[in-house]
A and B are shown apart, each in its own frame.
Chain A
Amino acid sequence: MEMTVAQALIRCLEMEGVEVIFGYPGGAILPVYDALCKMGSIKHILARHEQGAVHAADAYSRVTGHVGVVMATSGPGATNLVTGIANAYMDSVPLVVITGQVPTSQVGTDAFQEVDITGITLPITKHNYLVKDAGKLPTVVKNAFHIASTGRPGPVLIDLPRDVATETIKLDYPDSVSLRGYKPTYKGHPTKVKEAAQMMMKAERPVIYAGGGILNSGATGELLELAEMLSAPVTNTLMGLSSFPGDHPLFLGMLGLHGTRYANLAVTKCDLLIALGARFDDRVTSKISSFAPDAGVVHVDIDPAEIGKNVQVHVPIVGDVRQVLQALLPNINKKDRSEWLEQIQNWKEQYPMGYARDGMLKPQAVIEAICRHTRGEAVVATDVGQHQMWVAQFYRFKHPGKLISSGGLGTMGFGLPATVGAQVGRPDSLVVLITGDGSLQMTLQELATVVEQKLPIKIFVLNNNCLGMVRQLQEFYCERRYIATEFSFVPDFVTMAKAYGIAGYTIKSHSELDRLLPEILSNPDAVMVNCLVDPQENVSPMVMAGQGIDQAIDC
């Protein structure tokens, strides 16, 4: 069938099962928007800044498992996506990003709203395309979805010049891809799998260190089975949180810089570290030489480049975590490790996670209360900073895929647009944003999107009048020489909410918290809750730079 490339693009998206696009229009992408409108088959969520669109698509993908699709115009539209693309790249989120481009004859002439977005995004996309030949569009789209969603997922960008978008082609959507340079490995090498099983059976003090790869590959069931078979305690990275039940006795919580002491001690003392879909990030390992110093390391990851990148690995297994675990489980038997578990239990009792519940409203108390009132079942999006760590420490996720947070890039401003994407993807779930007063301001324009789309999200601002995490760093690394971290002015978030037509609450005390939460959480519309929390509160424990993770200090 003959149609314009713009129409063909929409048709291809339909065939990929795309239901929602997040975007912002502009001159160079107009033909595609026109086709989108004409064909009417795909819902479009209009953001208020392209950064909002891309973070929303990112979160949409995280909650649904589908490829997130985002669209923007050339020039500033495209550059406004950069942070969001980098964010998805660092957290291995499958995105297809479609940008308009100036007509081919103007490419490279510094034309109005022209930027070399394929050049700019080279370091932060899994792959990208500039479509110069109209006939190649269907193949490019097919490849883009394939590359984004398979292997280690990631963002793929398609840059489409305006003149190409208006050319006419015969749409013939390919059934399969043929990419000789791209063939991800899914099945673990059988010998390595056997070796790993033997190590697991031999080990006396195993720890499972599980990352975001568990969630990406859908291996939560297998993880649970493995942990119970081996009686091995499980610690999560930030990205891995919710992949293992937060209330399970084998759960150690998060490890690393702000991890629990017992998780960090367990890793330090273990004789076998089973790393599943995790990448030994610096926030996890801190000083590498004292990270799991006595342990053999089994590392299962879909990305061969992650294996051996930061730490030495004894049994590398390249493959999809779920498939590898399925192959591995029949090779192991139930094993009792009461001594090791007893040790862990002692650590848990000796170093419990806690905080002093006195005086002003404590941010940790807000999170614990939200967890209680949502029974650990809400979809929780966070921004970046102290509140993010407190969520990781104090919200006990019951079900997989419920934490939506910027891990690798650590993007302040991710949270609010992420709730937009999460709620669009899961219209029937309770979606909660836990954010800070600094982060929320970064992308607060998306409140208009929340209202326009009638998304009943619940926003909790842990308002401490400062950039808390950086301030905390200044307290410990810069002798309390606070600069540029204490806001001398913070907007009135309740009035702001009202300006957007959103209900607002202020919570100042622990007693108000429990009194107001049921009402807030059952509100059928969006709500903004300004929680005035203790500005002196720090995230504790904390591993200072260059220290081993067992050397955490109390803050």
Chain B
Amino acid sequence: MKMNGAQILVQGLLDQGVDTIFGYPGGSVLPIYDALYDANIRHILVRHEQGAAHAADGYARASGRPGVCLATSGPGATNLVTGIANAYMDSVPMVAITGQVPSALLGRDSFQEADITGITMPVTKHNYIVKDVKELAMTLKEAFYIATTGKPGPVLVDIPRDVSGGTMDYEDPGPINLPGYRPVLEGKEEQLNKAAAAITDSIRPVIYAGGGVIGSGAHQELKRLAELLMAPVTTTLMGLGGFPGDHPLYLGMLGMHGSRYANYAVCESDLLIAVGARFDDRVTGKIESFAPDATIIHIDIDPAEIRKNVRADIPVVGDVKIVLNQLLPRLEAKLSGAWQQKIDQWKKEYPIGYEEDNDKLKPQQVISAIYKATRGQARIATEVGQHQMWAAHYYTYTRPRSFISSGGLGAMGYGFPAAIGVQVACPDEVVFDIAGDGSIQMNIQEMATAVNYQLPVNVAVMNNGWLGMVRQWQELFYNRRYSCTELVNPDFVKLAEAYGASGIRVTRGADLKPALEEAIRNSGPVMLDFVIEREENVFPMVPPGESLGNMIG
């Protein structure tokens, strides 16, 4: 059948099971949009391409299916860069499709031309520019395969306008053959045996679980492992929800803003089982003194992660879920003992907490209230900053894919468009974006998208009039020289109203519950402006460059 490139693209998307794409039109993607006109694919029109990339990312994290975003050449493509980098750092499967100027105009600095494959080389798992319509179907198939397998990540496909407009007789592209890309899924027997032996020998094991647990769907295996070994589990920010937050073996998050008991447990462990985590600098603190006495088992799909930052005594390369299923039969149940008692002691001694104040609204209090009002069942997206850490501490995540946050890149402005993507993927669930007043402004334009599609996203702004996290650093490490961190803000309630959304301002603890209930009941987007204590800090904290054991606050 004669089809043009755009129709082949749409057919390829349908073959991949894509039902939703997030995008913004423009000259170079016109043929693709025209093909979408007839297609059974939902297109969500955002208000800035950054919103499209983050929404596709949020959609992927919530659903487990690859997110797809679409933008035009030039500024459309460059506007995706932050969102692509974000997906790359957090291993989110995403396919970004960009229009490009016609092949004949390539390399001539043409109108709205940007070398987006060159630009995104450092932030994509792979990228393509399709120079011949005959290659399009196979390229798209490969793009989805690469994005979703191994360590997932974003793949960009750049399509010149003459290619999307060019015609050919369409035929199925056939099987994929990528000799340079063969992800290893199963752990090696030898390594598994070594790991099992080390686990059996250990007295003070700690499981350190990252986003890989969620990515591979290994949360049940992780729970079985922990319960079998009676081993406490700490998660990274990306791993939140990978282990039930209300489980007695749970230690909360570790690292710079981890719980004291998680960090102490890691410091004193004799065995650290790293599961789908990558020893990020925000997790390890000073590397030399990270888990100094522990044998380290590192299970990861990406061989390059092993020994990248920290020694790994027993590396096991493979898909976390498959590897855990291989490992579990080799292990015997252990009983609770002195180690567990010590941890319980730490938990009692150093609980995560804050000082309540009747006159002031505390951000921690707000998050706790959101937790209660949603009975822990909401999908929580966050922006980046203090509120992100509070959302990690004071909301208890009991299921995977319920905490959606920018971990590796730390992109302010991620949360709101991501929440839109989450709501699109989970139309019947309660979705919150926990935001700061700085972050929410970064992609505030997406309120029009939320209203346009009547997506009932609740935006909870922790409004302290500062770029709070940066201010906290300036307070602690720069003698309170607050350089360029105080903000003049819009009236968020009025702003919501300008968008035809609802706005609610909360200044007192007593109003929290009714306001949240009203927001949850509302069938459209709601902006909640929580006017919080201005100089509240995120504690405890490991100062940069220090060991996990040396926490302040």
Q: Do chains A and B touch in the complex (CB under 8 A)?
A: yes
* Contact flags B406-443 to A (C-beta < 8 A → 1, else 0): 10111111100000000000000000000000100111
Q: A26-B470, A76-B82, A448-B487 are contacts. A442–B115 as well, Cβ < 8 Å? A: no
Residues in B whose Cβ lies below 8 Å from that of A443: 48, 445
* B74 adjacent to A410 (CB under 8 Å): yes
A79-B123, A496-B495, A499-B498 known; A478-B26 Cβ under 8 A: no
B30 at the interface (CB under 8 A from A): yes
Q: Which of A123, A452, A490 contacts B488 (CB 8 A)?
A: A452
Contact between chains at A86 and B74 (CB < 8 Å): yes
Nearest opposing residue in chain B for A406, CB measure: B75
Q: Across the interface, name the chain A residue whose C-beta is closest to B447.
A: A491
B518 lies within 8 A of chain A by Cβ: no
Known interface pairs A282-B110, A451-B488, A470-B26. Does A49 touch B498 (Cβ–Cβ under 8 Å)?
A: no
Partner among A25, A481, A491, A496 whose Cβ is within 8 Å of the Cβ of B484: A25
Q: Which residues of A contact B470 (CB under 8 A)?
A: 25-27, 30
Q: Check A87–B442 contact: CB distance below 8 A.
A: no
A75 surroundings in chain B (CB, below 8 A): 85, 409-411
Q: Which residues of A sit under 8 angstroms from B63, Cβ to Cβ?
A: none
Which residues A412-443 have CB closer than 8 A to chain B?
Answer: 412-413, 438, 441-443
**Are A441 and B111 in contact (CB-based, < 8 A)?**
no
Q: Is B361 an interface residue (CB 8 A)?
A: no
Which of A25, A282, A489 is B448 in contact with, Cβ under 8 Å?
A489
When C-beta atoms are compared, the residue in chain A nearest to B305 turns out to be: A110
Nearest-neighbour CB distance to chain B for A381, whole angstroms, equals: 16
Residues of A within 8 A of B494 (CB): 495, 498-499
Q: Bound complex: CA of A51 vs CA of B445, how far in Å?
A: 14
A281 at the interface (CB under 8 A from B): yes
Set of chain B residues within 8 Å of A496, measured between Cβ atoms: 495, 498-499
Give every chain B residue within 8 A of A198 (Cβ-Cβ).
none
Report the minimum CB–CB distance from A461 to chain B (whole Å).
13
Q: Does A90 contact B (CB under 8 A)?
A: yes
B111's partner among A48, A282, A444 (CB-CB below 8 A) is A282
Report the nearest B residue to A497, measured CB to CB.
Answer: B498
- Using Cβ atoms and an 8 Å threshold, which residues of chain B touch A490? 448
Contact present for B25 and A483 (CB under 8 Å)? yes
The answer to whether B530 has its CB under 8 Å from any CB of chain A is no
Among B123, B438, B442, chain A packs the most CB atoms within 10 A around the CB of B442
A548 at interface by CB-CB < 8 Å: no
| Contact residue among B78, B412, B499, B500 (Cβ-Cβ distance under 8 Å from A76) | B412
Given A30-B474, A489-B452, residue A409 in contact with residue B484 (CB < 8 A)? no
B105 in the interface (beta carbon within 8 A): yes
Given contacts A119-B121, A474-B34, A483-B37, contact A82 B485 (CB under 8 A): no
Is A44 positioned at the interface, with any CB of B under 8 Å from its CB?
yes
A326 within 8 A of B: no
| Shortest Cβ distance from A470 into B: residue | B25
Q: Tell me, rounded to whole Å, the shortest Cβ–Cβ distance linking B83 to chain A.
A: 9
Among B406, B414, B445, residue most surrounded by chain A Cβ atoms (within 10 Å):
B445
Residues in B neighbouring A123, C-beta threshold 8 A: 114-115, 118-119
Could you tell me which residues of chain A, from 109 to 151, have a CB within 8 Å of some CB in chain B?
Answer: 109-113, 115-116, 119-124
B196 contacts the other chain (Cβ, under 8 Å)? no
Q: Which residues of A contact B45 (CB under 8 A)?
A: 484, 487
- In the assembled complex, B203 has its CB within 8 A of some CB on chain A: no
Q: Evaluate whether A478 and B89 lie within 8 angstroms (CB atoms) in the complex, with A49-B442, A279-B109, A484-B43 already known.
A: no
A2 contacts the other chain (CB 8 A): no
The answer, yes or no, to whether A473 is at the interface (CB within 8 Å) is: yes
Contact A477 B30 (CB under 8 A): yes
Comparing A31-39, A224-232, A336-344, A509-517, the segment that makes contact with chain B is A31-39
Does B47 interact with chain A (Cβ within 8 Å)? Answer: yes
B123 to A25, Cβ gap below 8 A? no
- Is B74 within 8 A of A115, CB to CB? no
Residues of A within 8 A of B474 (CB): 30, 34
Interface hits, B497-511 → A, CB 8 Å = 497-500
Docked pose: A113 CA to B409 CA in angstroms? 4
Contacts A27-B473, A30-B474 given; does A491 touch B111 at CB 8 Å: no
Residues of A within 8 A of B444 (CB): 444-445
B374 interface hit (Cβ, 8 Å): no
B37 touches A112 (CB 8 A): no
- The answer for the CA separation of A410 and B101 in the assembled complex, in Å, is 13
Interface string of A331-370 (1 = CB under 8 A from B): 0000000000000000000000000000000000000000
| Across-interface contacts of A46 in B (CB, < 8 A) | 484, 487
- In angstroms, how far is the closest chain B Cβ from the Cβ of A69? 14
B121 proximity list for chain A (CB < 8 A) = 119-120
In the assembled complex, which residues on chain A have CB atoms less than 8 Å from the CB atom of B409?
75-76, 79, 113, 115
Interface residues of B in 365-410 (CB under 8 A from A): 384, 406, 408-410
A27 to B282, CA, bound (A): 12
> B25 contacts which chain A residues (CB < 8 A)?
467, 470, 483-485
* B34 and A442 form a contact (CB under 8 A): no
* B490 interfacial by beta-carbon distance below 8 Å: yes
B484 and A111: CB pair below 8 A? Answer: no
A112 with B85, Cβ < 8 A, contacts A82-B78, A481-B34, A491-B500 known: no
CA A343 – CA B101 in complex, angstroms? 36
Contacts of B177 in A (CB 8 A): none
A113 to B82, CA, bound (A): 11
Q: Which of B264-323 contact A (CB under 8 A)?
A: 278, 280-282, 308-309
A408 to B488, CA, bound (A): 33
Chain A residues numbered 377-419 whose CB sits less than 8 Å from any CB in chain B: 384, 406, 408-413
Q: Could you say which of B37, B86, B105 contacts A282, with CB atoms under 8 Å apart?
A: B105
CB neighbors of B among A1-48 (8 A): 23-27, 30, 33-34, 36-38, 44, 46, 48
Smallest beta-carbon distance A53→chain B, Å: 11
Residue pair B114, A124 in contact (C-beta under 8 Å): yes
Is A500 among interface residues, defined by CB-CB distance under 8 A?
A: yes
Complexed CA–CA distance, A482 and B5 (Å): 19
Kindly supply a per-residue 1/0 record for chain A positions 437-480, scoring 1 wherever the CB is within 8 Å of any chain B CB and 0 otherwise.
01001111101100110000000000000010110011001100
Residues of B within 8 A of A408 (CB): 109, 111
Q: Would you call A283 and B111 a contact (CB within 8 A)?
A: yes
Closest to B84 in A: A79
Report how far A327 CA is from B203 CA in the complex, Å: 86
- Is the CB–CB distance between A120 and B123 below 8 Å? yes
- Most chain A beta-carbon neighbours within 10 Å: one of B111, B408, B445: B111
Given A76-B412, A310-B108, does the pair A499, B490 have CB atoms closer than 8 Å? yes
Q: Is A523 an interface residue (CB 8 A)?
A: no
Across the interface, do A445 and B78 meet the contact criterion of CB distance under 8 Å? no
Chain B residues closer than 8 Å to A309, beta-carbon distance:
108
CA distance A51 to B24 in the complex (A): 18
Q: Which residues of A sit under 8 angstroms from B452, Cβ to Cβ?
A: 487-489
The distance from the CB of A485 to the nearest CB of chain B, in whole angstroms, is: 6
Q: Could you tell me the distance between the alpha carbons of A493 and B494 in the complex, rounded to whole angstroms?
A: 11
Residue with the highest number of chain A CB atoms closer than 10 Å, among B26, B43, B478: B26
Complex CA distance for A238 and B470, rounded to whole angstroms: 41
Contact B481 A37 (CB under 8 A): yes
* 23 pairs, CB–CB < 8 Å, chain A vs chain B: A27-B469, A30-B473, A33-B483, A75-B411, A79-B411, A83-B81, A112-B281, A119-B122, A124-B119, A406-B75, A441-B48, A444-B445, A448-B489, A448-B490, A474-B30, A483-B43, A484-B33, A487-B448, A489-B451, A495-B497, A496-B498, A498-B494, A499-B492
A79-B81, A90-B109, A445-B442 are known contacts; what are 8 more A-B pairs with Cβ within 8 Å?
Answer: A76-B85, A441-B448, A442-B47, A467-B25, A478-B30, A487-B448, A489-B452, A499-B493
Chain A interfacial positions (CB closer than 8 Å to B): 23-27, 30, 33-34, 36-38, 44, 46, 48-49, 51, 75-76, 79-80, 82-83, 86-87, 90, 102, 106, 109-113, 115-116, 119-124, 279, 281-283, 309-310, 384, 406, 408-413, 438, 441-445, 447-448, 451-452, 467, 469-470, 473-474, 477-478, 481, 483-485, 487-496, 498-501
Closest 8 CB pairs of A and B: A37-B483, A499-B494, A76-B411, A496-B498, A495-B498, A499-B495, A452-B488, A116-B122
